[in-house]
Amino acid sequence: MLLINPVPFSLLELASVREGDSVGQTLANSVTYARHAESLGFQRFWLAEHHNMQGISSAATSVLIGHIAGNTQTLRVGSGGVMLPNHPPLVIAEQFGTLEHLYPGRIDLGLGRAPGTDPMTGRALRREGLGAEQFPQDVAELQRLLGPLDPSHPVNAIPGAGTQVPIWLLGSSLYSAQLAAQRGLPYAFAGHFAPRLYREALRIYRDQFQPSEQLDEPHAMLAVPAVPADTVEEARYLSTTSYQRILALFRGQPLWMRPPVNSMAGLWSPQEEAGVKGFLGLQLLGDGAAIEEQLAQLLETVEVDELMVTVDLYDPAKRRHALDILASLPQFQGAGGSE
């Protein structure tokens, strides 16, 4: 029998548009989804920044964070993440400082150093040419801008200064783990799409962590994809929605969320199937018992303080029901520490 230590569960949201749906309906579904997560005791609800991608409607990330926070009461809402190469740090400090004033104690600022788009769109977003190489300096500037007001400095974030919005570093590489450790920041590994280095990255983060004003001890979160359903057979059927979507990503096609299919045979080549399943290497799939066992095995191999789950299901009702299944797991620790 594997030892079970409950951890907080959180959710990552792309505001994925179902084929044929409007963006307005998609965002209404996201609000309903977030409210249900809050009622079950999920810890955080983060939105990811992507640009120029048909099928994903979370480009205006800070706007959606405000919308979700305004339609919930206790759920922590944040970015998973803001792609900092796209934005001047001052603008992000003002946006998230404003959000913190509107929803005190409920806003998280997760930062990534990828553009979250193609190079041409990246240039359209931030024309001065600064990119990922500027990331450490931009993180430091954000920390200053969200820290105590410095009257001696000619530029401050108003509002923003003094809000101390919690900054997280996100990543899928060893670089981000090292930077988070050096800065004493919480760290989230993107195992939902890049599972290969998760063990090494989380180990490096813990081994190299240096305490900071924000954090005394390392705090690590692992993001994983999940397809919970009432039966294993149903979960396998529902999983074909995410298979089709990732296949479209590999092929450079629009990322509309498509209905599940009875079989992927004929839709992908053996090489594409291997690529999609490798992309989803940490996927939790099945009924509650199956996911409980998969999760127990995962948590035996790596030390994490939180889990962040992506649930890409086509039917909004089944997607909400998937959260019921996750919240029933013995590994689930509800917000506030209750199980």
How confident is residue 338, by pLDDT bands cut at 50, 70 and 90? very low
What pLDDT score was predicted for residue 339? 39
Residue 334's pLDDT is 86
- 6 C-beta neighbours (distance < 10 Å), count: 15
**Residue 115 confidence class, pLDDT cut points 50, 70, 90:** low
Query: What is the model's pTM?
Result: 0.94
b (16+ CB within 10 A) / e for 215-246:
beebbbbbbbbbbbbeeeebbebbbbbbbbbb
SS3 102: helix
- Is the confidence at residue 272, as pLDDT, over 80? yes
**Encoded tokens for 85:** 């190469």
Whether the pLDDT of residue 3 is over 70: the answer is no
Mean pLDDT on 240-260: 96
Asked whether the beta carbons of 213 and 225 are under 8 A apart, the reply is: no
pLDDT score at 5: 82
pLDDT over threshold 70, residue 336: no
Q: Per-residue pLDDT tens for 293-335?
A: 999 999 999 999 999 999 999 999 999 999 999 999 999 998 7
With a cut of 90, say whether residue 101 has pLDDT above it: yes
Quick one: DSSP state of residue 18? B
Phi, psi of 330 (to 5 degrees): -65, -20
Write down the mean pLDDT value for the chain. 93
β-bridge mates for residue 111, sequence order: 82, 169
CA distance 259 to 285: 17
Residue type, 135: F
List the single range of 20-24, 31-35, 125-129, 298-302 with lowest mean pLDDT: 125-129
- What domains lie within the chain, and their CATH numbers? 7-230+281-337 (3.20.20.30)
pLDDT for position 1? 46
pLDDT for 316: 97
The whole-number pLDDT of residue 2 equals: 53
Segment 286-290 mean pLDDT: 98
Average pLDDT over residues 68-96: 95
- 233 — phi, psi (to 5°)? -60, -45
How many angstroms separate the CA atoms of 285 and 263, rounded?
Answer: 16
Q: How confident is the model at residue 337 (pLDDT cuts 50, 70, 90)?
A: very low
- Residue-level pLDDT at 328: 97
E-state strands within 139-253 = 167-171, 187-189, 220-228
Provide mean pLDDT across the span 252-266.
96
pLDDT at 222: 97
CB atoms within 10 A of CB 254: 14
Return the number of other C-beta atoms located less than 10 Å from residue 72's C-beta. Answer: 19
Helices 174-183 and 135-146, axial angle in degrees (round to 10)? 30
